[in-house]
Copies of this chain bind each other. A is one copy, B any other.
């Protein structure tokens, strides 16, 4: 992922040095397990751990370059690493990796990296959830117009809007937790996964120490449906980000102006148009969501490996595992900050709510008419008539609003008087159940 969209903590998970350190940990743990089973000498496991640990810990740019150099000869990354480690461990290094295959190391390492990445992403979502909850509580009863099809529909509250996004991210969090569990498996099963040369107890030992489950049946590789499920979970979170970002972009439109991304002192909105304050963060998040979603297809195509395994998934994962998690980590934290600092304009919300002359209350008037005894068809026609008249007079000086149009319609007043109409249009009615929904989403107050 390009540096612009990378945060150091997530990048670190995917660095070559981090990978090699995990490889070492897997090899050292496997050796300890084998020593415990008597497969290799205790001293060998001891040497691998004691001499290997400082060597692995010291891996920096120069050491990575050295391993790369060995790989250019061997054309095999794990063998290059083992050769590099053997230089420091000495003769007993020959007991490393006994009966194992590269995939045992590579796939278990990927499991460690993906679970670490998942942990970060879950923490990121928690930050988003905290920001959303805070703003939702703050605006629990801030009236705003609800829009369907981009058209004013009925009143809602800004808090309710945010509660919907909160619930979506909470679902995304659950999916991430499930996806983390899917990929958190360890396989040390040797060539084609038969344990012919490595005892299953080695796998159990390494898994337990690394906080992973045992992969029930690996065929040299951990099956890639697990990884596909992981990337799908990321993509759905990305889509949730896009939905909220799209909301902010709409709210910041010049004609709407109900909310605005925080504008930093010194920030310039446009090289050409200095008055412009653009929703660049949420537009950026929209783009990042597209990126993260784009990694789903290659992940799905990675599932159908040939026979016990092929290596076609590897190049894909070298790219999309860091790219998807880094981009999503960046996006979630950007979103959390954006929502925390979002400038919200309740007055503009009220102004927009009033802008259509009261037609947003039409459904409730329709209901009152039918309850008063008018047929649904007639009531619909009457309300539509008043609404259309209001609509067409919008902005004209002296144009009647919806209430006035209703009162001027004898078919309406045959069923409802002014008091009944006002009762139907009372905004307090609209928000009666806000607390019900808040209790569902955020728990009891």
Shortest A286–chain B CB gap in Å is 4
Tell me, in angstroms, the Cα distance from A305 to B283 when the chains sit together: 10
Q: A94-B375, A228-B239, A433-B194 are in contact. Are A366 and B272 (CB under 8 A)?
A: yes
Segment at the B interface, from A48-56, A185-193, A414-422: A185-193
A146 with B101: CB separation less than 8 A:
no
> What is the chain B residue whose CB lies nearest that of A376?
B94
Instruction: For A88, list chain B residues within 8 Å (CB).
Output: none
Asked whether A29 is an interface residue with its Cβ less than 8 Å from the other chain, the reply is no
Instruction: For A295, list chain B residues within 8 Å (CB).
Output: 294
A363 with B255: CB separation less than 8 A:
no
Shortest A363–chain B CB gap in Å is 5
Q: A304-B246, A367-B197 are in contact. Are A283 and B254 (CB under 8 A)?
A: no
Tell me, in angstroms, the Cα distance from A376 to B271 when the chains sit together: 11
Asked whether A116 is an interface residue with its Cβ less than 8 Å from the other chain, the reply is no
Instruction: For A302, list chain B residues within 8 Å (CB).
Output: 287, 290
Instruction: For A219, list chain B residues within 8 Å (CB).
Output: 146, 156, 160-161, 164
Q: Per-residue CB proximity of A156-171 to B under 8 Å, as 1/0?
A: 1000110110011001
Tell me, in angstroms, the Cα distance from A87 to B309 when the chains sit together: 50
Shortest A379–chain B CB gap in Å is 8
B167 with A273: CB separation less than 8 A:
no
Number of chain A residues whose Cβ lies closer than 8 Å to a Cβ of chain B: 169
B236 with A363: CB separation less than 8 A:
no
Instruction: For A318, list chain B residues within 8 Å (CB).
Output: 2, 4-5
Q: Per-residue CB proximity of A370-406 to B under 8 Å, as 1/0?
A: 1100011000100110011011000100000010000
B291 with A315: CB separation less than 8 A:
yes
Q: Per-residue CB proximity of A125-138 to B under 8 Å, as 1/0?
A: 00000000000000
Listed A/B pairs (26) with beta-carbon separation below 8 Å: A4-B318, A74-B268, A76-B271, A78-B271, A102-B270, A146-B219, A149-B249, A151-B269, A151-B277, A155-B192, A160-B194, A194-B434, A196-B430, A217-B440, A225-B243, A229-B232, A236-B303, A239-B304, A247-B307, A255-B352, A268-B384, A274-B362, A275-B384, A296-B300, A301-B301, A319-B327
The 10 closest A-B pairs by CB, nearest first: A275-B387, A146-B192, A287-B315, A239-B303, A274-B384, A149-B278, A195-B433, A232-B232, A147-B307, A255-B255
